[in-house]
Amino acid sequence: MTGTVDVEDVLSKLNNVEKVALLAGADWWHTIPIKRLGIPAIRMSDGPNGVRGTKFFNGVKAACFPCGTGLGATWDVDLLRQAGQLMGDESKSKGSHIILGPTINMQRSPLGGRGFESLSEDPVLAGLGAAALVNGIQDKDIAATIKHFVCNDLEHERNGTNAIITDRALREIYCLPFQLVVKDSKPACFMTAYNKVNGIHVSENDKILKGILRGEWGWEGMVMSDWWGTYSTSEAINAGLDLEMAGPTRWRGMALQQAVSVGKVHQHVLDERVRNVLNLINRVSAAKIEEYAPELTADTPETAAFLRKIGGESIVLMKNEDKILPLSKDKKTLILGPNAKYAAIHGGGSAALAAYYAVTPFEGIKSQLTSDPLYTVGCYSHKELPLIGDILKTANGETGISFKAYNEAPNVPDREIADELVLTKTELLMMDYNCSKLKSDLWYGTIEGTYTAEEDCDFEFSLGVYGAAKLFVDDKLLIDNDTVQRKGTMFFNCGTAEEKGTIPVKKGQAYQIRVEFSSAPTSKLDPGSNTLFGSGAVRIGGAKVIDAEEEIKHAAALAKNTDQVIICAGLNSDWESEGNDRDNMALPGYMDALITAVTAANPSTVVVMQSGTPVEMPWISSTKAMIHAWYGGNETGNAIADVLFGKVNPSAKLPLSFPKRLQDNPAFLSYKTERGRVLYSEDVYVGYRWYEMLDLPVLFPFGHGLSYTTFEISELAISKSDASLKVSVKVSNTGDLPGAEVIQVYVSQKNPSIKRPKKELKGFKKVYLEKGESTTVEVEIETKYATSFWDEVRDSWIIEKDTYDVLVGSTSEKIQVKGEFEVGKTSWWKGL
């Protein structure tokens, strides 16, 4: 892709058929080129924690960053800008002009299936963090896409749900992070939410797209729909939706041409939408990415080092009684737990990608110990049985499975192979699979691999599918997911339930595993939204059958005779995934029982928790040490080990409140869609705003995070003008190690005319200090952002004449210095 186009000249030469063509995707990831006028196709790619490229199925490997809440936990805008820059470089390696991220929807509830993708429950932390990521991405001339605008805060019936919300909550909580991103980074693209807001789908919501985004905020960029999140022709175009994704079009084409011809869409509106697409094409031309460029890897030592650094910077030290952490590298160590030898590097759905590599916690910890650790699994935590690609071998001895595609069914003799691949992952999302030799949508696949048993045991296999499939072991049918099918939650909530079968295996014996698959048209399920998946999908899992209670006893016995114990616990991409929300906050299976038993057996036990959103911890009072490691990207295991052994002094802070129980959460009674609507009944009291207003104790407060050193905040000074509020404090490292502290600035209005939260985060800054070092830290905030709430009567932000408290601390609960300032005159404002 070379050079730019003269937008106005090209507009004058395009006919309406061509203009309409430019306003919808050509396929999953590309726009449509107009060759005669030199308009190239441009490419886009997910997503929020790495750049996948154009393939869910058998994709080119990529860098995986910590999940959104992990990025938010750094509270470090400089580091996030660097992360954005690396994402920009990754995008170039994948030939992608546009990154579909970051995600900044609000976490109303811990149960949100995509909660892990977003940065925070607080709009200021989310907005400033996302602006830094956007600036980094766009430093590399790659277009960032901020998403999902707005109130796309749950997965349950997400395409049709109607978010019923006050204007005040919409502005102060849900729109504010997007507003801050526009103000501080001017993202090239916005992606509309799937849902309705107050009765109108966002992709055709004139008030939100034209009134707020383009009108009040003055944003100039391109608006695209989420994938199949366009629901109309004229309404969406007129409201301001430029690009319908994905392609080919469902709503534009001939329908839009006719709408223009009969005046339902005026010519100047069509031209404006095309102008926005052409301006974006010009903007990304500076990246010098060729049209339909090959997708390459960029797995460098520098990338690995950065991912390890940001992984470590995202890990929160939650608890450290008796200074159990950092651990010794020389002591006899037991590692256990379901996440020990499983690399939980990302959540599920759009955030998933094929990583360059994935370091498990066991591998990372073992690499820093002077002697080999003991290990036992302790318990399982999977929702679906773990994928088994890494324990299977092909006929040629390669790790993984062989995949062969055919036009004919297995009962056709001498059928010809249309495609043959070796795959390492036994979850095959074939929504974007294409093979020129396959003659129709109906085709067949044979998946084969050899499993060699490591011990005498019962081994359980599982099979999920969109399409139909049967699993054979040594040519004997074990699982039939074809004859009868049950609806499940796999594959973005479109596939079957997981069906299982168990066989006894003998150590050292090889077993031939074969799955006969038929494509999407053979599915017995109600089609629903399954058209999303094109060719279909299949998932093959497996695990040794264990007696959970006996395994816990075994783990506790090992722990009792070990110097130090590390439990790797938490969730994974089965539990936290696009397409469905969690049912509760509990850890799955026997994990609570395992942690309780092991910590009782050995008080020197450290819990390493991985989840993208809060979980219940009934054992926390008897656990002396814990870190929260989110989903940490490629370097997950190394980053965890770096914190456990003190190579990294933890400095992350929680971007979310961790409630004690689900019932305490502000959205507890109004989270799922009911008869097509979800009521945002907690209004502006999201996250810590709710817990503080009700004096409701939490497990861990917003902004919480410990260090291996100690800090003191003192000498508050406040300087206020009509334009800005400058808050400075002295920060001292009073401990024995170098480290970093996050200065959190909250503001509270003393006598508001309406109810307001007790305090609200308005600014923050991370500072690194050597042992014994002190420095002055200044946080500057625009006065109007520090003081305002949304006046629904005037339809504007209001700054009230009043006294305002400034509260500065290291967490939302630990306020160390206080001051105040005055606003002498009430005023209103709109815009940025």
DSSP 755-805: ---S-EEEEEEEEEE-TT-EEEEEEEEEHHHHH-EEETTTTEEEE-SEEEE
The average pLDDT across 522-536 equals: 74
526 falls in which pLDDT band (50, 70, 90)? confident
Q: Residue count of the chain, please give it.
A: 832
> At 533, is the pLDDT very low, low, confident or very high (cuts 50, 70, 90)?
low
Q: What is the pLDDT of residue 2?
A: 61
Q: In what order do the strands lie in the sheet with 724-733?
A: 711-720, 724-733, 774-782
Whether 398 and 449 have beta carbons less than 8 Å apart is answered as: no
DSSP class of residue 298?
A: -
Picking from 724, 735, 747, the residue whose alpha carbon sits closest to that of residue 815 is: 747
Rounded distance between C-alpha atoms, residue 706 and residue 148, angstroms: 32
Judge residue 676's burial from the number of C-beta atoms within 10 Å of its C-beta, 0-12 exposed, 13-18 middle, 19 or more buried: exposed
Task: Tell me the residue ranges of DSSP E strands in 321-438.
Answer: 333-336, 374-376, 392-393, 401-406, 417-423, 427-429
Categorise residue 683: left if φ over 0, alpha if ψ from -120 to 50, beta otherwise: left
Query: Percent of the chain, pLDDT > 70?
Result: 99
Asked whether the beta carbons of 448 and 405 are under 8 A apart, the reply is: no
Is residue 404 over pLDDT 50?
yes
Q: For position 3, what pLDDT does the model report? A: 75
Contacts of 270 (CB under 8 A, 6+ apart): 16, 19, 20, 23, 237, 256, 260
Phi, psi of 636, rounded to the nearest 5 degrees: -45, -55
> In this predicted model, what pLDDT tens digit does every residue of 649-662 receive, in sequence order?
999 999 999 999 99
Beta-carbon-side half-sphere exposure of residue 634 (alpha carbons within 13 Å): 23
Cβ-contact 63, 50 below 8 angstroms: yes
Sheet strands side by side (includes 537-544): 427-429, 537-544, 457-466, 499-505
Residue 528 has pLDDT above 70, yes or no: no
Instruction: Please report how many Cα atoms fall inside a 13 Å half-sphere around the Cα of residue 150, on the Cβ side.
Output: 23
Active site positions, annotated: 226
SS3 655: coil
Answer yes or no: is pLDDT of 530 > 50. no
Helices 77-93 + 123-139 axis angle, to 10: 40
* Percent share of the chain, pLDDT over 90: 96
- Closest by alpha carbon to 381, among 546, 494, 559, 605? 546
Q: H or E element: which one contains 70? A: helix 68-73
Largest CA distance in the chain: 88
The backbone torsions φ and ψ at residue 338, rounded to the nearest 5 degrees and listed phi first, read -65, -20
What pLDDT, on a 0 to 100 scale, did the predictor assign at position 492?
Answer: 81
CB 684 within 8 A of CB 672: no
Residues 402, 447 contacting (CB under 8 angstroms): yes
Task: Say if residue 47 is preceded by a cis peptide, omega within 30 of 0.
Answer: yes
Q: What is the pTM of this model?
A: 0.97
Sign of CA dihedral 256, 257, 258, 262: positive
Distances (CA, A) of 376 to 314, 554, 601: 27, 8, 15
- Please tell me the distance from the alpha carbon of residue 383 to that of residue 361, in angstroms, as a whole number: 20
Task: Round to whole Å and give the CA distance between 130 and 142.
Answer: 15
CA dist 629 and 631 (Å) reads 6
Mean pLDDT of all residues in 229-235 = 98
The helix (run of H) or strand (run of E) holding residue 336 is strand 333-336
Query: Token digits for 339?
Result: 């996440």
β-strand pairing of 774-782 with 724-733: antiparallel
**373 within 8 A of 335, measured Cβ to Cβ:** yes
Bridge partners for 24 per DSSP: 244
Q: Indicate the residue type of 686.
A: V
What is the pLDDT, as a whole number, of residue 100?
98
Sequence-distant (≥ 6) Cβ neighbours of residue 669 within 8 angstroms = 681
How many helices (H) and strands (E) the chain has is answered by 19, 36
Q: Are strands 760-769 and 417-423 parallel, antiparallel or unpaired?
A: unpaired
State both tokens at 382. 């999977």
Q: Can you tell me the distance from the alpha carbon of 253 to that of 775, in angstroms, rounded to the nearest whole number?
A: 61
Q: Give the CA distances from residue 793 to residues 179, 509, 800, in Å, rounded to whole numbers and listed in that order.
A: 21, 75, 14
- The string of pLDDT tens digits covering residues 94-119 is 999 999 999 999 999 999 999 999 99
How far apart are alpha carbons 347 and 66 in whole angstroms?
10
Q: Where are the alpha helices (DSSP H) in 457-615?
A: 490-493, 548-560, 591-601
What is the token pair recorded at 609? 């928790």
Closest CA relative to residue 25, chosen from 49, 5, 45, 8: 45
Q: Span 25-33, mean pLDDT?
A: 96
Average predicted confidence (pLDDT) for the chain: 96
Tell which residue, 563, 566, 565, 585, has the closest CA to residue 576.
585
In this predicted model, what pLDDT tens digit does every residue of 254-308 receive, in sequence order? 999 999 999 999 999 999 999 999 999 999 999 999 999 999 999 999 999 999 9
Q: What whole-number distance in Å separates Cα of residue 125 and Cα of residue 105?
A: 12
pLDDT per residue over 699-739, tens digit each? 999 999 999 999 999 999 999 999 999 999 999 999 999 99
Residue 529 has pLDDT above 60, yes or no: no
Cα–Cα distance measured from residue 190 to residue 179, given in angstroms and rounded to the nearest whole number? 12
pLDDT of residue 802: 98
Structure-block tokens of residue 272: 């404006």
Given a contact cutoff of 8 angstroms between Cβ atoms, the answer to whether 78 and 306 are in contact is no
Cα 544-546-547 angle, rounded to 5 deg: 170
Contacts of 397 (CB under 8 A, 6+ apart): none
Spatial separation of the C-alpha atoms in residues 332 and 369, rounded to whole Å? 9
8 Å CB contact between 794 and 828? yes
pLDDT digits (tens, 9 = 90+) for 587-646: 999 999 999 999 999 999 999 999 999 999 999 999 999 999 999 999 999 999 999 999
Identify the three-state secondary structure at position 100: strand
Does residue 571 have a pLDDT over 90? yes
**79 phi/psi in degrees, rounded to 5:** -65, -40
The amino acid sitting at 142 is: I
pLDDT in tens, 154-168: 999 999 999 999 999
Instruction: Show the DSSP H helices in 240-337 as ranges.
Output: 254-261, 267-284, 301-314
Query: Who's near 748: CB < 8 A, 6+ residues apart?
Result: 756, 757, 758, 759, 760, 804, 805, 807
Q: Which residues pair with 713 in a beta bridge?
A: 731
Task: State the pLDDT at residue 532.
Answer: 60
What distance in Å separates the CA atoms of residue 745 and residue 747, rounded to the nearest whole number? 7
Sign of CA dihedral 672, 675, 677, 683: negative
How far apart are the C-alpha atoms of 336 and 506, rounded to whole Å?
24
* Pairing of β 468-473 and β 417-423: unpaired
Tell me what pLDDT residue 144 has.
98
Token representation of residue 803: 């006294």
Reported as a single tens digit per residue, the pLDDT across 766-775 is 999 999 999 9
